[in-house]
Amino acid sequence: MATVSSQILLCCSTPKSKFPTINSSPSRFLTPTKVTYKPTKLMTFNSKGNFRFITRASSSLANEFTANIGDVLGDVSVFTAAGQRVFFKDLWDQKEGIAVVALLRHFGCFCSWELASTLKEAMPKFDSAGVKLIAVGVGTPDKARILAERLPFPMDCLYADPDRKAYDVLGLYYGLGRTFFNPASAKLLSRLDKLQKAMENYTMQATPDDKSSVLQQGGMFVFKGKELLYARKDEGTGDHASLDDIFDICCKSPVA
């Protein structure tokens, strides 16, 4: 059986020459304010009194977006895993509903399977707080169904964005450097056990036919109605937001 490291290489086996040279996906709906990624270091102690530093993003990027980003994203259409076209504005209450929108990488990415598994485990906690969890991935609905059936993952919470429209609107990162060489991806090494578990029924058949899609990074967003409360772009492959932090943000904005 292939090891996790060998499967990681298989997930990204498309020759470099087949990829476009675009390195980012700037959004028209970002403000001109320059936002710098400034990690902070948290000191934690184990039972023996030894300490270590954990690097994490210091703040949300919500101020980077224009005030109407909720309206703009609301008019973006995606597909249910069953193949029905829907708009973002129909996925949660646009007045007071709180929603966490998790944009995965492509459906054939091992990190997407791991994040989807983590989201599924957290759903009861978020549901009890009145928060809706929504997962969107890059690929066609049939690729979404592969992940949903084999992981498994609730199909009514999973959506497909084959043309990466939402990713473009939100200005999520894209490119070879972000996908393969970003230092932020190193945090994957601390989650190898979760990764291995999520990949028990993994198949590369979930990878999009458009191989340029494998260079797309994801992100995590929290909305209350149309208002953007929190925004975080994945710096590199596997650089996911902490769901504990996301839950705390949601709880600070209770449903009316």
Residues 6+ positions from 247 with CB-CB distance below 8 Å? 122, 125, 126, 129, 131
CB 22 within 8 A of CB 175: yes
Q: Where are the domains of the chain?
A: 62-251
Between CA 24 and CA 178 the distance in angstroms is 9
CB 155 within 8 A of CB 145: yes
CB 206 within 8 A of CB 216: no
| Coil, strand or helix at 117 | helix
Residues 6+ positions from 36 with CB-CB distance below 8 Å? none
In CATH, the number for domain 62-251 is: 3.40.30.10
Query: In a structure prediction context, what are the per-residue pLDDT tens digits for the chain, which is 256 residues long?
Result: 444 444 443 344 344 444 444 444 555 555 433 333 333 333 333 444 443 333 333 347 888 899 999 999 999 999 999 999 999 999 999 999 999 999 999 999 999 999 999 999 999 999 999 999 999 999 999 999 999 999 999 999 999 999 999 999 999 999 999 999 999 888 888 899 999 999 999 999 999 999 999 999 999 999 999 999 999 999 999 999 999 999 999 998 755 5
